[in-house]
Amino acid sequence: MDVSRDFRLGAGILAAELALSGAYFLVSSTNAQDAIYELFGGGCVLAVAWSIRHVGPRSRLPWIVFGIGNVLFVAGDIAFDISPNATPPATADYLYLIAYPLFAALPVMLVVSSGSHRRIGALTDAAIVTLAFAVFEWIFVIEPALHQHWPLGERVVLGALYPAMDIVLLGAFAGFFVSPAWRCPSFGFLVAGAASQLVGDIANTIDGSAYSGASWINWPWMASYIFWTAAVLHPSMRRLAGPAREPDTPIGRWRLAALFGALLTVPVARLVADADHRMIGVWVVGTLQAAIAVLVVARMGMILRSVDRIRGRLAEQNEELVQADRLKDEFIALVSHDLRTPLTSIIGYVELALDEDGSEPLDAERRRYIEVVARSSDRLLRLVDDLLLAARLQSGRFVLNVDETDLESIAADALDEMHARAQRKGVSLFLACDGPVRVEADRRRILQLLDNLVGNAVKFTPEGGRIELRVERTLAGAAIEVCDTGIGLTEGDEERIFDRFYRSPSAVAEHVPGTGLGLFIARAIAEHHGGSLSARGREEGGSIFRLELPTAAPHTADDPETELVA
């Protein structure tokens, strides 16, 4: 099937029908109007037959039944045109009333074909909508018509049977929303056709004399033929009976609001009826209200059970994720531990090879090669140590060796260790401190923390930049700030940069090497000391990392922690 060709064919037919509907209101001859009106129905019947043969829906029976319904409607139109003044129930009424269940059978059969009829929650929603519509039909259409001074047959047909068929039609199409195929354009046209039919029926029941000549009420009925023709000609009609692959109807705020609104149907309708001085049947309305309330309570119970199931699944998935994360940390720790042993041997033998006291001194080229091996081995060992420490932090096995220490001397040591790297890059290092600042802390871990901060500052600060360490006393203890004139922080990165394995977009763009573990470890060390580590950008460019420590850190180590650095 050529989808684009058939879509153009359908669009052309729709355009012709719309133009023809305009001509209906322009001609003055009743016979011409009747002929034009019947052309709409006949065209819809032909479109159904053509689509069954050429479009090839998944299931043909629903569309055959729908086509028969249209044939009966066209026959009813012809019968009405022949005897427009016949008293109901007339031949046209019988034909129309038989056609309504056939129209309603289309969405029902498509739902059953797709397997969506098993979605009890969504079907309950459809039933609630149908009953809410029935409330308004009873108060504003059925009961007033039954109290008219019409012959009994006319009151039964116009006041009861036609509104009842409208309720059946709406309920059938509302039930189709349980199927994932309701998003198809073809279904949209079907719903538009059913809605147009309902508008015309309600208007005709309220004012039975409207169906004559070129009255506006004929437009909704003609529009129903137009929309149904569009539905059967659109290629998406093949998917309407497709299998349902979606889960139960999602729970959202709009759904809960709709359920609450359903409970207000009768009170709202009663207020409108009182304002219009209408008399309503208490027993019928009360029964409908009770049915709506029962269905709403049942639906809320289904929603609560769905929430419990979702919560249970989330708990299971969370437990699986926690288990997977724990296994990942154990794997990283195991592999990293096994890597340290050969790395330590490599570093040791490289140091021996570089020893000037050796019997056979190295030439310049071989020394350069071995120095590259030494630097790469040191870098790899630091990475392994970071992985081991990160795994230990995640498993809760991280302990501190707390003792009284001077932060000024730690800051000075951190700058000394970074001096050579900063000098090679052309970055200046400064220390600002008024004197010793003593706190209880793990000196080795605080030095590791500052190494990470200063190392990052050196990496991200261009040549000619400046890095300053400020050590100061605070009311709660002490603080150290690492201020640089580097590339700074991108918006929203003030917290994310402390996530494990996270690397900022600027680091990736500048091809700055790193694993994303340094700042994660630095914050963990700060928090284990009872302190905090934060970051912010500087207005003049660069960033500031602030470490705050209490005067006394918690003593968490009964036994000294094993040294990780070779």
In this prediction, residue 8 carries a pLDDT of 63
What is the average pLDDT across 499-512?
Answer: 69
CATH architecture of 403-550: 2-Layer Sandwich (3.30)
What is the average pLDDT across 387-405?
Answer: 75
Higher pLDDT, 495 or 429: 429
Cβ(442)–Cβ(400) under 8 Å? Answer: yes
Residue 481, pLDDT above cutoff 90: yes
Helices (H), 207-281: 218-233, 253-263, 265-275
**DSSP-assigned states of every residue in 351-395:** HHHH-TTSSSPPPHHHHHHHHHHHHHHHHHHHHHHHHHHHHHHHH
In this prediction, residue 69 carries a pLDDT of 92
Q: Cα(first)–Cα(last) distance of the chain, in Å? A: 72
Question: Rounded distance, CA 172 to CA 561, Å?
Answer: 72
- CA angle (310, 314, 318) in 5-degree steps: 175
Task: Report the SS3 class of residue 458.
Answer: helix
| Number of other residues whose CB lies within 10 A of the CB of residue 75 | 19
Min mean pLDDT across 358-362, 382-386, 514-518, 547-551 is at 358-362
Question: Rounded distance, CA 381 to CA 344, Å?
Answer: 8
In this prediction, residue 176 carries a pLDDT of 66
What would the two tokens of residue 309 be? 């199931």
What is the average pLDDT across 2-8?
Answer: 50
In this prediction, residue 561 carries a pLDDT of 46
Residue 1, pLDDT above cutoff 60: no
Min mean pLDDT across 11-15, 43-47, 228-232, 429-433 is at 11-15
What is the average pLDDT across 479-503?
Answer: 83
Instruction: Note the pLDDT tens digit of each residue in 172-201.
Output: 888 766 666 666 778 888 888 888 888 888
From 506, 494, 504, 478, select the one nearest 538 (Cα to Cα): 494
Q: Which residues contact 479 (CB under 8 A, 6 or more apart)?
A: 471, 472, 546, 547, 548, 549
> For 275-307, b where at least 16 C-beta lie within 10 A, e where not — what string?
eeeeebeeeebeebbeebeebbeebeebbeebe
In this prediction, residue 14 carries a pLDDT of 67
* pLDDT > 90: percent of the chain: 11
Question: Rounded distance, CA 16 to CA 516, Å?
Answer: 66
Amino acid at 339: L
Instruction: Note the pLDDT tens digit of each residue in 322-340.
Output: 887 777 766 666 666 667 6
Residue 391, pLDDT above cutoff 50: yes
What is the average pLDDT across 517-540?
Answer: 87
Higher pLDDT, 65 or 490: 65
Helix count and strand count (H, E) for the chain: 19, 7
Mean pLDDT of the chain: 78
Higher pLDDT, 158 or 430: 430
Cβ(38)–Cβ(74) under 8 Å? Answer: yes
In this prediction, residue 182 carries a pLDDT of 60
